[in-house]
Amino acid sequence: MQSFIKKYSIFLMLYIIFQPVLDAVTGTMMRFNINITFGVLIRMVVMAITVFYILLFLILNRDNKHGFRIIGYFVLLAVVSAISLAINYKTKTLFIPSLEITTLAKSLYYPIMLLGYFYAFEELAEDRIINRFFPKVVFIAVNIISIIMIVAHFTNTSFSSYSYYKLGESGWFFAANELSAIVSISFPIMVWYALKKINTWSKIYYWLTIVIAIYSALLIGTKGSLLAIVFGICMAILAAVIQFFQDSGRRKYMAGIIVMLVITLGGIFAAYPAMAVSRTAELHSDMIKYKKKQAKTKKGITKDQKKYVETNKTVSYLFSGRTVYFENAADNFSKATPAQKAFGMGYATNFKSEKKAKLVEMDYVDIFFQFGFIGTIVYLAPLAYCLIYLIGVFLRKFKYMWSFKWAMLVSSVALGFGMALMTGHVIEAPSVSIYFVTILSYAMLNARIFLRSGEDPYTIDVEE
Protein backbone atom coordinates (compact mmCIF):
# COMPACT_ATOMS: atom_id res chain seq x y z
CA MET A 1 0.00 0.00 0.00
CA GLN A 2 2.84 2.38 0.82
CA SER A 3 4.27 1.62 -2.62
CA PHE A 4 0.98 2.72 -4.19
CA ILE A 5 1.06 5.98 -2.22
CA LYS A 6 4.57 6.77 -3.49
CA LYS A 7 3.85 5.80 -7.10
CA TYR A 8 0.54 7.65 -7.23
CA SER A 9 2.17 10.75 -5.71
CA ILE A 10 4.66 10.70 -8.58
CA PHE A 11 1.81 10.10 -11.05
CA LEU A 12 0.03 13.22 -9.78
CA MET A 13 3.19 15.22 -10.51
CA LEU A 14 3.50 13.84 -14.04
CA TYR A 15 -0.24 14.28 -14.57
CA ILE A 16 0.30 18.07 -14.69
CA ILE A 17 2.48 17.74 -17.79
CA PHE A 18 -0.34 16.00 -19.68
CA GLN A 19 -2.89 18.75 -18.98
CA PRO A 20 -2.19 20.74 -22.19
CA VAL A 21 -2.54 17.56 -24.27
CA LEU A 22 -5.90 16.79 -22.63
CA ASP A 23 -7.05 20.36 -23.23
CA ALA A 24 -5.95 20.38 -26.88
CA VAL A 25 -7.73 17.06 -27.53
CA THR A 26 -10.81 18.32 -25.67
CA GLY A 27 -10.79 21.56 -27.65
CA THR A 28 -10.61 19.71 -30.94
CA MET A 29 -13.46 17.38 -29.94
CA MET A 30 -15.68 20.26 -28.85
CA ARG A 31 -15.02 22.08 -32.12
CA PHE A 32 -16.50 19.02 -33.82
CA ASN A 33 -19.49 19.16 -31.44
CA ILE A 34 -18.54 15.95 -29.59
CA ASN A 35 -20.19 16.55 -26.20
CA ILE A 36 -18.54 13.72 -24.21
CA THR A 37 -14.96 14.89 -24.24
CA PHE A 38 -11.81 12.86 -23.69
CA GLY A 39 -10.39 15.37 -21.20
CA VAL A 40 -13.45 15.39 -18.96
CA LEU A 41 -13.55 11.58 -18.78
CA ILE A 42 -9.84 11.30 -17.89
CA ARG A 43 -10.12 13.99 -15.22
CA MET A 44 -13.15 12.37 -13.60
CA VAL A 45 -11.36 9.00 -13.49
CA VAL A 46 -8.27 10.59 -11.90
CA MET A 47 -10.49 12.39 -9.38
CA ALA A 48 -12.13 9.09 -8.40
CA ILE A 49 -8.75 7.38 -7.92
CA THR A 50 -7.53 10.37 -5.92
CA VAL A 51 -10.43 9.88 -3.48
CA PHE A 52 -9.16 6.33 -2.87
CA TYR A 53 -5.59 7.68 -2.56
CA ILE A 54 -6.67 10.20 0.09
CA LEU A 55 -8.50 7.54 2.12
CA LEU A 56 -5.51 5.21 1.94
CA PHE A 57 -3.13 8.01 2.92
CA LEU A 58 -5.28 8.83 5.97
CA ILE A 59 -5.45 5.17 7.01
CA LEU A 60 -1.68 4.68 6.73
CA ASN A 61 -1.01 8.01 8.45
CA ARG A 62 -2.91 6.79 11.54
CA ASP A 63 -3.72 10.31 12.71
CA ASN A 64 -7.33 9.56 13.63
CA LYS A 65 -8.22 13.10 14.67
CA HIS A 66 -6.97 14.58 11.38
CA GLY A 67 -8.56 11.75 9.39
CA PHE A 68 -11.97 12.24 11.01
CA ARG A 69 -11.85 15.97 10.24
CA ILE A 70 -11.04 15.38 6.58
CA ILE A 71 -13.59 12.60 6.10
CA GLY A 72 -16.16 14.64 8.05
CA TYR A 73 -15.66 17.59 5.72
CA PHE A 74 -16.18 15.54 2.57
CA VAL A 75 -19.24 13.81 4.05
CA LEU A 76 -20.68 17.25 4.86
CA LEU A 77 -19.88 18.49 1.34
CA ALA A 78 -21.55 15.40 -0.17
CA VAL A 79 -24.68 15.88 1.99
CA VAL A 80 -24.94 19.58 1.07
CA SER A 81 -24.50 18.74 -2.63
CA ALA A 82 -27.15 15.99 -2.47
CA ILE A 83 -29.61 18.32 -0.72
CA SER A 84 -28.99 20.99 -3.37
CA LEU A 85 -29.66 18.51 -6.20
CA ALA A 86 -32.86 17.24 -4.55
CA ILE A 87 -34.20 20.74 -3.90
CA ASN A 88 -33.52 21.92 -7.45
CA TYR A 89 -34.96 18.75 -8.96
CA LYS A 90 -38.27 19.60 -7.29
CA THR A 91 -38.10 23.39 -7.65
CA LYS A 92 -36.39 24.49 -10.87
CA THR A 93 -38.50 25.33 -13.91
CA LEU A 94 -36.15 23.28 -16.07
CA PHE A 95 -33.92 20.68 -14.44
CA ILE A 96 -31.49 18.91 -16.81
CA PRO A 97 -29.95 16.02 -14.80
CA SER A 98 -26.90 15.54 -17.04
CA LEU A 99 -26.06 19.26 -16.88
CA GLU A 100 -26.59 19.59 -13.13
CA ILE A 101 -24.64 16.44 -12.24
CA THR A 102 -21.75 17.24 -14.61
CA THR A 103 -21.50 20.75 -13.16
CA LEU A 104 -21.48 19.38 -9.61
CA ALA A 105 -18.80 16.80 -10.48
CA LYS A 106 -16.59 19.55 -11.92
CA SER A 107 -17.17 21.61 -8.77
CA LEU A 108 -15.96 18.77 -6.54
CA TYR A 109 -12.71 18.52 -8.50
CA TYR A 110 -10.98 21.38 -6.65
CA PRO A 111 -11.37 20.21 -3.00
CA ILE A 112 -10.47 16.60 -3.83
CA MET A 113 -7.41 17.46 -5.92
CA LEU A 114 -6.28 20.18 -3.48
CA LEU A 115 -6.03 17.64 -0.67
CA GLY A 116 -4.64 14.96 -2.99
CA TYR A 117 -1.78 17.19 -4.12
CA PHE A 118 -1.04 18.35 -0.60
CA TYR A 119 -0.57 14.74 0.50
CA ALA A 120 1.46 13.98 -2.64
CA PHE A 121 3.81 16.89 -1.91
CA GLU A 122 4.06 15.81 1.73
CA GLU A 123 4.93 12.25 0.68
CA LEU A 124 7.57 13.31 -1.85
CA ALA A 125 9.07 15.99 0.41
CA GLU A 126 10.27 13.39 2.91
CA ASP A 127 13.15 12.24 0.71
CA ARG A 128 13.29 15.37 -1.49
CA ILE A 129 11.88 13.58 -4.54
CA ILE A 130 9.60 16.59 -4.82
CA ASN A 131 12.53 18.70 -6.10
CA ARG A 132 12.67 16.59 -9.25
CA PHE A 133 9.07 17.41 -10.12
CA PHE A 134 7.83 20.74 -8.84
CA PRO A 135 7.83 23.40 -10.25
CA LYS A 136 9.46 21.71 -13.25
CA VAL A 137 6.20 20.03 -14.28
CA VAL A 138 4.40 23.39 -14.41
CA PHE A 139 7.28 24.86 -16.41
CA ILE A 140 7.06 22.00 -18.94
CA ALA A 141 3.25 22.16 -19.13
CA VAL A 142 3.21 25.88 -19.96
CA ASN A 143 5.97 25.36 -22.53
CA ILE A 144 3.78 22.73 -24.20
CA ILE A 145 0.95 25.28 -24.27
CA SER A 146 3.33 27.80 -25.86
CA ILE A 147 4.40 25.31 -28.54
CA ILE A 148 0.78 24.46 -29.38
CA MET A 149 -0.13 28.15 -29.53
CA ILE A 150 2.79 29.02 -31.83
CA VAL A 151 2.30 26.02 -34.13
CA ALA A 152 -1.42 26.83 -34.42
CA HIS A 153 -0.59 30.49 -35.08
CA PHE A 154 1.92 29.90 -37.86
CA THR A 155 -0.10 27.10 -39.49
CA ASN A 156 -3.21 29.30 -39.46
CA THR A 157 -5.18 26.63 -37.60
CA SER A 158 -5.77 28.58 -34.38
CA PHE A 159 -9.28 29.20 -33.01
CA SER A 160 -10.37 32.80 -32.40
CA SER A 161 -10.56 33.96 -28.78
CA TYR A 162 -13.31 36.41 -29.70
CA SER A 163 -15.15 34.91 -32.66
CA TYR A 164 -17.41 37.96 -33.04
CA TYR A 165 -14.38 40.24 -33.38
CA LYS A 166 -12.14 37.66 -35.10
CA LEU A 167 -9.49 38.76 -32.65
CA GLY A 168 -7.12 36.88 -30.39
CA GLU A 169 -6.13 33.23 -30.65
CA SER A 170 -6.63 30.25 -28.36
CA GLY A 171 -4.49 27.80 -30.34
CA TRP A 172 -6.17 24.39 -30.43
CA PHE A 173 -7.77 25.03 -27.04
CA PHE A 174 -11.52 25.53 -26.82
CA ALA A 175 -11.98 28.27 -24.22
CA ALA A 176 -9.85 31.41 -24.35
CA ASN A 177 -10.81 32.46 -20.80
CA GLU A 178 -9.72 29.13 -19.32
CA LEU A 179 -6.50 29.19 -21.34
CA SER A 180 -5.84 32.74 -20.16
CA ALA A 181 -6.40 31.72 -16.53
CA ILE A 182 -4.01 28.75 -16.86
CA VAL A 183 -1.24 30.88 -18.31
CA SER A 184 -1.85 33.69 -15.81
CA ILE A 185 -1.72 31.49 -12.72
CA SER A 186 1.26 29.45 -13.95
CA PHE A 187 3.39 32.30 -15.31
CA PRO A 188 5.01 33.33 -11.98
CA ILE A 189 5.97 29.68 -11.39
CA MET A 190 7.67 29.64 -14.79
CA VAL A 191 9.57 32.80 -13.88
CA TRP A 192 10.67 31.29 -10.56
CA TYR A 193 11.92 28.13 -12.27
CA ALA A 194 13.79 30.03 -15.00
CA LEU A 195 15.43 32.50 -12.59
CA LYS A 196 16.63 29.68 -10.34
CA LYS A 197 18.06 27.84 -13.34
CA ILE A 198 19.93 30.90 -14.61
CA ASN A 199 22.64 30.57 -11.97
CA THR A 200 25.17 31.42 -14.71
CA TRP A 201 24.63 33.50 -17.83
CA SER A 202 25.41 30.48 -20.00
CA LYS A 203 21.89 29.30 -19.08
CA ILE A 204 20.14 32.41 -20.37
CA TYR A 205 18.25 30.16 -22.79
CA TYR A 206 15.84 29.43 -19.94
CA TRP A 207 14.67 33.03 -20.21
CA LEU A 208 13.96 32.55 -23.90
CA THR A 209 11.21 30.12 -22.87
CA ILE A 210 9.72 32.91 -20.75
CA VAL A 211 9.76 35.29 -23.73
CA ILE A 212 8.06 32.64 -25.87
CA ALA A 213 5.45 32.06 -23.13
CA ILE A 214 4.79 35.81 -22.97
CA TYR A 215 4.37 35.96 -26.75
CA SER A 216 1.98 33.00 -26.67
CA ALA A 217 -0.03 34.48 -23.80
CA LEU A 218 -0.39 37.80 -25.57
CA LEU A 219 -1.69 36.01 -28.68
CA ILE A 220 -4.76 35.07 -26.61
CA GLY A 221 -5.85 38.70 -26.53
CA THR A 222 -7.47 38.64 -23.07
CA LYS A 223 -7.02 41.35 -20.45
CA GLY A 224 -6.36 38.80 -17.73
CA SER A 225 -3.28 37.25 -19.34
CA LEU A 226 -1.75 40.68 -20.04
CA LEU A 227 -2.32 41.95 -16.49
CA ALA A 228 -1.04 38.69 -14.96
CA ILE A 229 2.18 38.76 -16.97
CA VAL A 230 2.86 42.39 -16.07
CA PHE A 231 2.09 41.64 -12.40
CA GLY A 232 4.37 38.57 -12.40
CA ILE A 233 7.30 40.45 -13.95
CA CYS A 234 6.84 43.39 -11.57
CA MET A 235 6.87 41.07 -8.55
CA ALA A 236 10.03 39.41 -9.86
CA ILE A 237 11.68 42.85 -10.25
CA LEU A 238 10.68 43.79 -6.69
CA ALA A 239 12.09 40.51 -5.33
CA ALA A 240 15.32 40.98 -7.30
CA VAL A 241 15.76 44.55 -6.05
CA ILE A 242 15.26 43.46 -2.42
CA GLN A 243 17.75 40.59 -2.88
CA PHE A 244 20.20 43.06 -4.46
CA PHE A 245 20.34 45.01 -1.19
CA GLN A 246 20.15 41.97 1.10
CA ASP A 247 22.88 39.85 -0.52
CA SER A 248 26.01 41.95 -1.11
CA GLY A 249 27.90 38.94 -2.47
CA ARG A 250 25.56 38.52 -5.46
CA ARG A 251 24.89 42.15 -6.37
CA LYS A 252 26.50 41.98 -9.78
CA TYR A 253 24.51 38.89 -10.72
CA MET A 254 21.26 40.32 -9.29
CA ALA A 255 21.81 43.59 -11.17
CA GLY A 256 21.95 41.58 -14.40
CA ILE A 257 18.68 39.81 -13.45
CA ILE A 258 17.01 43.16 -12.78
CA VAL A 259 18.14 44.52 -16.17
CA MET A 260 16.82 41.41 -17.91
CA LEU A 261 13.45 41.70 -16.16
CA VAL A 262 13.12 45.42 -16.88
CA ILE A 263 13.95 44.88 -20.57
CA THR A 264 11.30 42.15 -20.71
CA LEU A 265 8.71 44.43 -19.10
CA GLY A 266 9.65 47.25 -21.47
CA GLY A 267 9.25 44.90 -24.42
CA ILE A 268 5.70 44.06 -23.32
CA PHE A 269 4.72 47.73 -23.15
CA ALA A 270 6.41 48.42 -26.50
CA ALA A 271 4.49 45.56 -28.12
CA TYR A 272 1.12 46.53 -26.59
CA PRO A 273 -0.19 48.59 -29.56
CA ALA A 274 0.22 45.57 -31.84
CA MET A 275 -1.50 43.17 -29.43
CA ALA A 276 -5.01 41.82 -29.90
CA VAL A 277 -5.88 42.96 -26.35
CA SER A 278 -5.30 46.61 -27.32
CA ARG A 279 -7.68 46.20 -30.24
CA THR A 280 -10.39 44.65 -28.05
CA ALA A 281 -10.20 47.71 -25.78
CA GLU A 282 -10.80 49.96 -28.80
CA LEU A 283 -13.64 47.77 -30.07
CA HIS A 284 -15.25 47.84 -26.63
CA SER A 285 -15.42 51.64 -26.76
CA ASP A 286 -16.71 51.56 -30.34
CA MET A 287 -19.39 49.03 -29.41
CA ILE A 288 -20.71 51.15 -26.53
CA LYS A 289 -20.89 54.21 -28.82
CA TYR A 290 -22.73 52.13 -31.42
CA LYS A 291 -25.20 50.74 -28.86
CA LYS A 292 -25.93 54.22 -27.50
CA LYS A 293 -26.56 55.43 -31.02
CA GLN A 294 -28.72 52.40 -31.78
CA ALA A 295 -30.77 52.98 -28.61
CA LYS A 296 -32.04 56.24 -30.10
CA THR A 297 -33.41 54.53 -33.19
CA LYS A 298 -36.81 52.88 -33.54
CA LYS A 299 -35.26 49.42 -33.40
CA GLY A 300 -33.58 50.18 -30.07
CA ILE A 301 -31.56 47.69 -28.03
CA THR A 302 -32.41 44.75 -25.78
CA LYS A 303 -32.86 44.97 -22.03
CA ASP A 304 -29.47 43.31 -21.41
CA GLN A 305 -27.73 45.57 -23.93
CA LYS A 306 -29.18 48.60 -22.17
CA LYS A 307 -27.82 47.39 -18.81
CA TYR A 308 -24.40 46.85 -20.39
CA VAL A 309 -24.31 50.33 -21.94
CA GLU A 310 -25.38 51.98 -18.68
CA THR A 311 -22.67 50.20 -16.65
CA ASN A 312 -19.52 52.17 -15.85
CA LYS A 313 -17.29 51.98 -18.93
CA THR A 314 -14.21 50.71 -17.07
CA VAL A 315 -16.21 48.16 -15.06
CA SER A 316 -17.99 46.85 -18.16
CA TYR A 317 -14.64 46.49 -19.94
CA LEU A 318 -12.85 44.75 -17.07
CA PHE A 319 -15.71 42.33 -16.46
CA SER A 320 -16.81 42.01 -20.11
CA GLY A 321 -20.53 42.15 -19.48
CA ARG A 322 -20.47 39.87 -16.43
CA THR A 323 -22.22 42.56 -14.38
CA VAL A 324 -25.29 42.13 -16.61
CA TYR A 325 -25.32 38.35 -16.05
CA PHE A 326 -24.89 39.02 -12.34
CA GLU A 327 -27.96 41.26 -12.26
CA ASN A 328 -30.04 38.62 -14.05
CA ALA A 329 -28.83 35.80 -11.77
CA ALA A 330 -29.34 37.94 -8.65
CA ASP A 331 -32.90 38.66 -9.77
CA ASN A 332 -33.56 34.92 -10.14
CA PHE A 333 -31.98 34.26 -6.74
CA SER A 334 -34.16 36.90 -5.08
CA LYS A 335 -37.23 34.99 -6.30
CA ALA A 336 -35.87 31.62 -5.13
CA THR A 337 -37.41 29.56 -2.33
CA PRO A 338 -35.83 29.69 1.16
CA ALA A 339 -34.44 26.20 0.58
CA GLN A 340 -32.77 27.30 -2.66
CA LYS A 341 -31.31 30.36 -0.98
CA ALA A 342 -29.82 28.12 1.70
CA PHE A 343 -28.53 25.34 -0.58
CA GLY A 344 -28.32 27.03 -3.99
CA MET A 345 -30.07 27.00 -7.35
CA GLY A 346 -27.66 24.66 -9.11
CA TYR A 347 -26.33 25.42 -12.57
CA ALA A 348 -27.03 28.96 -13.89
CA THR A 349 -29.87 29.60 -11.38
CA ASN A 350 -33.34 29.33 -12.99
CA PHE A 351 -33.48 29.10 -16.79
CA LYS A 352 -36.34 28.29 -19.15
CA SER A 353 -34.24 26.77 -21.94
CA GLU A 354 -30.70 25.36 -22.08
CA LYS A 355 -29.66 28.03 -24.58
CA LYS A 356 -30.56 30.75 -22.07
CA ALA A 357 -28.55 29.18 -19.24
CA LYS A 358 -25.82 31.73 -18.50
CA LEU A 359 -23.13 31.66 -15.84
CA VAL A 360 -21.93 34.98 -14.43
CA GLU A 361 -18.34 33.73 -15.01
CA MET A 362 -17.15 35.19 -11.72
CA ASP A 363 -16.35 32.10 -9.65
CA TYR A 364 -17.31 33.34 -6.19
CA VAL A 365 -20.61 34.68 -7.49
CA ASP A 366 -21.42 31.52 -9.47
CA ILE A 367 -20.53 29.38 -6.45
CA PHE A 368 -22.86 31.42 -4.23
CA PHE A 369 -25.78 31.08 -6.63
CA GLN A 370 -25.02 27.39 -7.19
CA PHE A 371 -24.62 26.38 -3.53
CA GLY A 372 -26.50 29.08 -1.58
CA PHE A 373 -25.60 30.54 1.81
CA ILE A 374 -24.90 27.27 3.63
CA GLY A 375 -23.42 25.41 0.66
CA THR A 376 -21.00 28.23 -0.17
CA ILE A 377 -19.58 28.28 3.36
CA VAL A 378 -18.98 24.52 3.19
CA TYR A 379 -17.66 24.53 -0.38
CA LEU A 380 -15.22 27.43 0.03
CA ALA A 381 -14.01 26.44 3.51
CA PRO A 382 -10.73 24.81 2.28
CA LEU A 383 -9.89 27.82 0.09
CA ALA A 384 -10.72 30.26 2.88
CA TYR A 385 -8.53 28.26 5.31
CA CYS A 386 -5.60 28.23 2.86
CA LEU A 387 -5.93 31.95 2.13
CA ILE A 388 -6.05 32.96 5.81
CA TYR A 389 -3.18 30.60 6.68
CA LEU A 390 -0.95 31.90 3.88
CA ILE A 391 -1.70 35.55 4.66
CA GLY A 392 -0.74 34.84 8.27
CA VAL A 393 2.56 33.25 7.21
CA PHE A 394 3.26 36.09 4.77
CA LEU A 395 2.81 38.71 7.50
CA ARG A 396 4.71 36.78 10.18
CA LYS A 397 7.65 35.91 7.91
CA PHE A 398 7.50 39.04 5.77
CA LYS A 399 11.26 39.59 5.52
CA TYR A 400 11.74 36.07 4.13
CA MET A 401 9.05 36.44 1.47
CA TRP A 402 11.33 38.01 -1.15
CA SER A 403 13.23 35.02 -2.41
CA PHE A 404 12.15 34.15 -5.96
CA LYS A 405 10.37 31.07 -4.64
CA TRP A 406 8.20 32.90 -2.13
CA ALA A 407 7.63 36.02 -4.24
CA MET A 408 6.46 33.96 -7.22
CA LEU A 409 4.37 31.59 -5.09
CA VAL A 410 2.64 34.59 -3.51
CA SER A 411 2.09 36.10 -6.96
CA SER A 412 0.67 32.89 -8.37
CA VAL A 413 -1.70 32.30 -5.45
CA ALA A 414 -2.83 35.94 -5.53
CA LEU A 415 -3.48 35.69 -9.28
CA GLY A 416 -5.45 32.48 -8.75
CA PHE A 417 -7.78 34.09 -6.23
CA GLY A 418 -7.98 37.31 -8.29
CA MET A 419 -8.62 35.64 -11.64
CA ALA A 420 -11.41 33.60 -10.04
CA LEU A 421 -13.25 36.90 -9.58
CA MET A 422 -12.20 38.76 -12.69
CA THR A 423 -12.44 36.10 -15.40
CA GLY A 424 -13.92 33.07 -13.64
CA HIS A 425 -13.19 29.51 -14.84
CA VAL A 426 -10.59 28.94 -12.10
CA ILE A 427 -12.12 27.15 -9.13
CA GLU A 428 -14.89 25.23 -10.88
CA ALA A 429 -13.08 24.49 -14.16
CA PRO A 430 -10.97 21.31 -13.72
CA SER A 431 -8.63 22.23 -16.57
CA VAL A 432 -7.64 25.40 -14.65
CA SER A 433 -8.14 24.39 -11.03
CA ILE A 434 -5.55 21.61 -11.41
CA TYR A 435 -2.84 24.29 -11.77
CA PHE A 436 -4.28 26.45 -9.00
CA VAL A 437 -4.57 23.62 -6.44
CA THR A 438 -1.06 22.27 -7.12
CA ILE A 439 0.48 25.70 -6.57
CA LEU A 440 -1.73 26.34 -3.53
CA SER A 441 -0.86 22.92 -2.05
CA TYR A 442 2.86 23.52 -2.59
CA ALA A 443 2.61 26.95 -0.94
CA MET A 444 0.72 25.43 2.01
CA LEU A 445 3.31 22.69 2.49
CA ASN A 446 6.15 25.22 2.53
CA ALA A 447 4.22 27.52 4.87
CA ARG A 448 3.45 24.70 7.32
CA ILE A 449 7.10 23.57 7.42
CA PHE A 450 8.22 27.17 7.86
CA LEU A 451 5.95 27.73 10.88
CA ARG A 452 6.60 24.30 12.40
CA SER A 453 10.40 24.40 12.15
CA GLY A 454 10.95 28.15 12.28
CA GLU A 455 13.23 27.88 9.23
CA ASP A 456 12.50 28.57 5.57
CA PRO A 457 12.41 25.12 3.86
CA TYR A 458 15.11 26.07 1.36
CA THR A 459 15.74 22.40 0.55
CA ILE A 460 12.30 22.26 -1.12
CA ASP A 461 13.09 24.36 -4.17
CA VAL A 462 14.03 24.11 -7.82
CA GLU A 463 16.49 21.26 -8.36
CA GLU A 464 19.79 22.75 -9.53
pLDDT at 205: 92
pLDDT at 74: 95
- In 3-state terms, what secondary structure has residue 131? helix
Sign of CA dihedral 216, 210, 419, 317: negative
For 277-332, write each residue's pLDDT tens digit: 777 666 656 555 555 555 556 555 565 555 555 555 555 555 566 777 788 888 88
pLDDT at 411: 97
Mean pLDDT of 329-351: 91
Single-letter code of the amino acid located at 354:
E
Mean pLDDT of 226-241: 95
Q: Give the Cα separation of 375 and 362 in Å (integer).
A: 17
Least confident span in 51-55, 109-113, 268-272, 368-372: 268-272
Mean pLDDT of 34-49: 84
Q: What's the angle, vertex CA 378, arms to CA 377 and CA 382, rounded to 5?
A: 95
For 154-207, write each residue's pLDDT tens digit: 998 888 876 655 677 888 888 888 999 999 999 999 999 999 999 878 889 999
pLDDT at 249: 84
Domain boundaries in the chain? 2-277+374-453
Residue 396 CB neighbours (<10 A): 13
Mean pLDDT of 63-92: 93
Mean pLDDT of 368-382: 96
Q: How far is CA 50 from the centre of its chain?
A: 20
pLDDT at 408: 97
Mean pLDDT of 120-143: 92
Alpha helices in 32-170 (DSSP H): 38-61, 64-91, 97-125, 136-154
pLDDT at 164: 57
Q: Is the pLDDT of residue 64 over 90?
A: no
User: Per the confidence metrics, is the pTM higher than 0.85?
Assistant: yes
- In 3-state terms, what secondary structure has residue 56? helix
pLDDT at 316: 52
pLDDT at 300: 57
pLDDT at 321: 63
pLDDT at 35: 64
For 404-451, write each residue's pLDDT tens digit: 999 999 999 999 999 998 888 899 999 999 999 999 999 999 999 999
Q: Give the Cα separation of 70 and 154 in Å (integer).
A: 49
Percent of the chain with pLDDT over 70: 89
β-strand partners of 160 = 169
237's enclosing H/E stretch is helix 223-246
Percent of the chain with pLDDT over 90: 59
pLDDT at 301: 53
Q: Is the pLDDT of residue 389 over 90?
A: yes
pLDDT at 228: 93
Mean pLDDT of 144-158: 91
Q: Average pLDDT, whole number, for the chain?
A: 87
DSSP string of 151-220, one letter each residue: HHHHTT-PPEEETTTTEEE-TT-S-HHHHHHHHHHHHHHHHHHHHHH-SSGGGTHHHHHHHHHHHHHHHH
Ramachandran region of residue 320, left (φ > 0), alpha (ψ -120 to 50) or beta? left
Residue environment code for 86-100, b if the CB has 16+ CB neighbours within 10 A, otherwise e:
ebbeeebeeeeeebb
Q: Give the Cα separation of 116 and 54 in Å (integer).
A: 6
Least confident span in 47-51, 351-355, 390-394, 419-423: 351-355
Q: Give the Cα separation of 78 and 73 in Å (integer).
A: 9
Q: Give the Cα separation of 310 and 10 in Å (integer).
A: 52
pLDDT at 160: 81
